[in-house]
Amino acid sequence: MAAAVVPAASSVLLAQAAATGAQPGASAVQTSVGTVQSVSAGTLSLNSDKGGSVSYTLPANVRVLQLAPGSTDLKTAQPASVTDIAEGDRALVSGRAGDNGTATALRVVLMKSGAIAQNNASRQQDWQRRGSGGIVEAVDPAAHTLTVTSGTHKETITTTPSTVFRRYAPGSVKFEEASLSKIDDIHPGDQVRVRGDKSSDGSTIAADEIVSGAFRNVAGLITRVDSGANTVTLNDLATKKPVTIAITGESDLRSLPAEMAARFAARARGGAAGQGGTDAAAGSAGARQGAGGVSAAANSGEGAPGGAARGAGGSGGPAGVAGRPAGGRSGDLSQVITRLPKATLADLKTGEAVMVVASGASGPAGNLTAITLLSGVEPLLAASPQGGANSFSISPWSLGGGEGGGEGAGPQ
């Protein structure tokens, strides 16, 4: 999914650059953003982000500017030439349509693919180092702040005019379809991922970038795996109702190793990592009791497992952050999930407990599509008295490797 992220972020940046620079010519100018498909014999072809191929004639005197990844100000662009344009580069082309249906390029704003890749790696690391997230509790557009909760932790997110906002398209699992947005587009119950500088006490974050979306989180035991239809059906531990979730090529399936699950569960209970064996056993039993409608708390005195979240419209998903990974390094489950082993639909078994972040409105079964699915989670679901919703997040974000994004790496 990492490669797919590049068009979204660079499209946003190129669009911002276009907005800040004077467009050549008058109202007849057409603009296209996409990936360079070919450039030869005075012709440039783009794979447009809007779909299809767009071709421009490149006159010898066409203005070419090279913009560094991450920059949105054309004043920082450096002069370049047609010979600098190569297949795979990102480009914003402004041109004038001709009578024969073709267009002549007036200006090409270029982002080199190699520079984008290098910038991606750097910003992925930055998302990992300075990333946070959670469920939106309140939005104050006048004060330019968000209040976000992650388990029992609450953070105030401060924004400025330079903060970049992106939002997942409704029903989409693709980050490349996330579009430029604003703070007014974020609502209580949404999930957000934030990249920025944290205060010393961790109570506030000055946001450089915020990615938001309305998602549904579901946790439960698998009752059916349909390889023909590419779906998984589970009994939602929160609603005690069956939910069918589609698995697509964009869905990110991961498997949580038993030892790591035990450690997260132990920490969520306030225990030590050494309790892993007990927690793993309790988790497995607890999840199964929960799926049958039996409270683990009533039977064992431990917290009853519940859904990983409630979805949109009364079931807004959580981005709970409870747990610290082994080794004493602070973090959350969502920050390690992209380093977990990959799984496939064929790896999933009936009776197995999973946590899923899905797109799609809450309602009848079958209208959800998995963004992230995590198996091996029985200990986690049993560890939270309120159900996994308030303790753990598997994060819907697709940041392209390592919880973070950047010029091409946005939320994973």
d(CA 177, CA 170): 9
Q: How many CB atoms lie within 10 A of CB 197?
A: 11
Rg (CA), the chain: 23
Domain boundary assignment for the chain = 2-111, 136-209, 216-390
How does pLDDT run across 69-78, given as a tens digit for each residue?
767 677 888 9
Q: Can you give the pLDDT of all 412 residues of the chain as single tens digits?
A: 333 344 445 554 555 555 544 455 444 788 899 999 999 889 999 999 888 898 999 998 899 999 887 676 778 889 999 999 999 999 999 998 876 667 899 999 999 988 888 877 887 788 878 888 888 999 999 999 999 987 678 999 999 999 999 998 776 666 667 788 999 999 998 888 899 999 999 899 999 999 998 888 788 999 999 999 999 999 988 888 999 999 988 888 999 999 988 888 887 776 443 433 433 333 333 333 333 322 222 222 222 222 222 222 222 222 332 222 233 333 467 667 778 889 999 999 999 999 998 877 544 444 788 888 999 988 888 876 444 444 465 654 443 333 333 334 444 4
Spell out where 98-213 has E strands.
103-111, 131-140, 145-150, 153-158, 164-167, 179-180, 191-198, 204-213
- pLDDT (0 to 100) of residue 402: 30
pLDDT digits (tens, 9 = 90+) for 73-120: 778 889 999 999 999 999 999 998 876 667 899 999 999 988 888 877
User: 404: which DSSP letter?
Assistant: -
Using alpha carbons, select from 168, 136, 60, 151 the residue that is nearest to residue 104. 60
* β pairing state of 153-158 and 103-111: unpaired
Q: How far is CA 410 from the centre of its chain?
A: 6
Name residues whose C-beta falls within 8 Å of residue 327's C-beta, 6 or more positions apart in sequence: none
Residue 34: strand pairing partners? 48, 91
CA atoms within 13 A of residue 256's CA, in its CB half-sphere: 33
Q: How many CB atoms lie within 10 A of CB 318?
A: 29
Q: What is the pLDDT of residue 393?
A: 55
Q: Which CATH number fits domain 2-111: 3.40.50.10800, 2.40.50.320, 2.30.110.10, 2.60.40.420?
A: 2.40.50.320
Contact 381, 308 (CB under 8 A): yes
The candidate with the shortest Cα–Cα distance to 167, out of 183, 188, 146, is 183
Neighbouring C-beta atoms of residue 411, cutoff 10 Å: 32
DSSP designation for 8 = H
Place of tokens 């080199």: 112
Residue 385: CB atoms within 10 A of its CB come to 16
Answer yes or no: are the C-beta atoms of 275 and 188 closer than 8 Å.
no
